[in-house]
Amino acid sequence: MKTAFYPGSFDPLTNGHMDIILKALRLVDHLVVGIGVHPGKAPLFSFEERRDLIADALDALPVATDHLTIVAFDGLTIEAARANGASCMIRGLRDSTDLNYEMQLAGMNGTMDAELDTIFLPASPEVRPITATIVRQIASMGGPFKAFVPDNVAHALSQKFQS
């Protein structure tokens, strides 16, 4: 059975992350979405909130999610991947900036653990420009962010920034 680990901050989940999750679900037997929780780095949404937003966004779609789990991790991604029984990692690629950074990560991860491969999935054209960082910035300034995130995430963002 092929288990893949898809790590990220998912703070919050965007349509770009959803695109990669849906593609990965079609490719592997079991997908583990790893939400990075780093002490000292305060996220907008707690781990529990981010986990529930991912689960609810997937529940709203007609896709089988019995082969998906969502976990928290801190420390090295390769260790979290191994601890969750994964033989490969999934990363999304938006542009050449992602490619350069992701090639460094994949190369160094591959040196630390030669058995763990990284699979790059290209972002679908309509979600290519989306980044969670800019979604947070738009939301914090009261701008329109609904085109970039699933409906339940848009709702949660509206509540978070309600004054």
Nearer to ligand ADP, 14 or 152 (CB): 14
- Note the Cα 144 to chain centre separation in Å: 22
The closest residue (CB) to ligand ADP is 16
Based on CB atoms, which residue is closest to ligand ADP, 17 or 51? 17
Q: Would you report the helix, strand and coil content of the chain in percent, each value rounded to 5?
A: 45, 20, 35
Question: Nearest distance from residue 19's CB to ligand ADP, in Å?
Answer: 6
Binding-site ranges for ligand ADP (CB under 6 A): 8-10, 14, 16-17, 19-20, 91-92, 94, 98, 123, 127, 130-133
> Cβ closer to ligand ADP: 83 or 93?
93
How far is 163 from 153, CA to CA, in rounded Å? Answer: 18
> Cα–Cα distance between 133 and 155 in angstroms, integer?
17
